[in-house]
């Protein structure tokens, strides 16, 4: 199967500390790839490098054959949640998504309303994001990631703050997105999420891949 992402001998250092140590891996298209590991193991750093937020010290990253930093600045068609979802607290969910959607202008207002309903949020609500619970913010973060129907989703702990029903709904959503042919990178502390959802699993420890299965 064709590769969506290819990471070749990537090392990322913060001063002397190696957050990623000569990592080589590939993520195939159309699959859910789980990335697990303790805090500080390198999962988030890997995701940030793939997104182009962090520059690698050594090695190369290719997104659909295009070299990051040379051919492209960032994955051209990706939806991302890394760390805490950051929204403008004085605006409602719809407005927040509209501001972001306005940058690419790929989707309509109705599409935004549709995606809000898809993640279980009220599209007509005027409630400001500042008054949202952590779970609602997380749902809005997921809506932000999937709204432009990207072919690649990079999700770092997307279940954070969700109740059991929310976790179940997001799992169903991810399965559906996989059926639609999306490639999903999923970092989670929850082993059940990984075992239920993922086609491949990589365990990270101290910036190295401990296990692939």
Partner 1 sequence: MVELRKTLRICMVGLRKIIITPRFYLAYLWVFFDFAPAIGAIRRFSSSVGMNCSPWVFALLTEDSGKQLFIILGALLLFCDAPFLHANSSWQILRAGRNNWFWGNMLYIWLLSFVYAVGISILTVIAMFPMVEWNTGWGKILGSLAQTSAASQFGSEQFSYAIMVQYSPPAAMVLTIAAVWMNAVLVGVCNYTLNFYLKKGTGNVISVVLGLSPLLIVRLAKFTMGYYFSPPLWMSLANYKWKGYGYGISFGYAYGVLGGLILICVVCSWKGIRKRDLDFSDEV
Residues that bind partner 1 (CB under 8 A): 51-55, 73-75, 78, 80, 82-91, 99-100, 102-105, 144
In degrees, rounded to 5, the angle at the alpha carbon of residue 51 between the alpha carbons of residues 47 and 53 is 95
Nearer to partner 1, 40 or 200 (CB): 40
How many C-beta atoms surround the C-beta of residue 173 within 10 A? 17
CB of 203 to partner 1, least distance (A): 25
Which of 129, 158, 143 is closest to 32 using CA atoms? 158
Residue 78 CB, nearest distance to partner 1 (Å)? 6
Q: How far is the CB of 77 from partner 1 (least distance, A)?
A: 10
Q: How far is the CB of 85 from partner 1 (least distance, A)?
A: 7
Judged on CB neighbours under 10 Å (0-12, 13-18, 19+), 32 is: buried
Tell me the H-state helices in the chain: 43-51, 93-104, 109-118, 134-146, 164-179, 191-197
Closer residue to partner 1 in complex, CB, 52/120: 52
Nearest residue (CB) to partner 1, 148 versus 203: 148
65 or 130, CB closer to partner 1?
130
Three-state secondary structure call for residue 37? strand
């Amino acid at each position: 199967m064709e590769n969506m992402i290819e990471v070749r001998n990537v090392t990322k250092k913060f001063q002397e500390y190696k957050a990623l140590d000569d990592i080589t891996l590939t993520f195939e298209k159309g699959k859910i790839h789980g990335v697990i590991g303790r805090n500080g193991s390198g999962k988030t750093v890997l995701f940030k490098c793939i997104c182009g937020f962090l520059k690698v010290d050594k090695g190369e990253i290719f997104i659909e054959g295009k070299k990051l930093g040379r051919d492209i600045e960032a994955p051209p068609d990706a939806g991302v949640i890394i760390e805490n979802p950051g929204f403008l607290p004085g605006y409602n969910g719809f407005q927040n998504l509209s501001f972001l959607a306005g940058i690419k202008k790929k989707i309509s207002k109705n599409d935004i309303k549709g995606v809000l309903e898809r993640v279980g949020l009220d599209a007509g609500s005027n409630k400001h994001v500042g008054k949202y619970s952590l779970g609602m913010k997380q749902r809005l973060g997921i809506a932000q990631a999937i709204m432009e129907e990207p072919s690649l989703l990079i999700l770092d702990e997307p279940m954070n703050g969700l109740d059991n029903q929310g976790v179940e709904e997001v799992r169903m959503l991810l399965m559906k997105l996989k059926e639609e042919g999306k490639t999903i990178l999923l970092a989670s502390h929850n082993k059940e999420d990984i075992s239920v959802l993922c086609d491949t699993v990589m365990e990270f420890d101290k910036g190295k891949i401990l296990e692939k299965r």
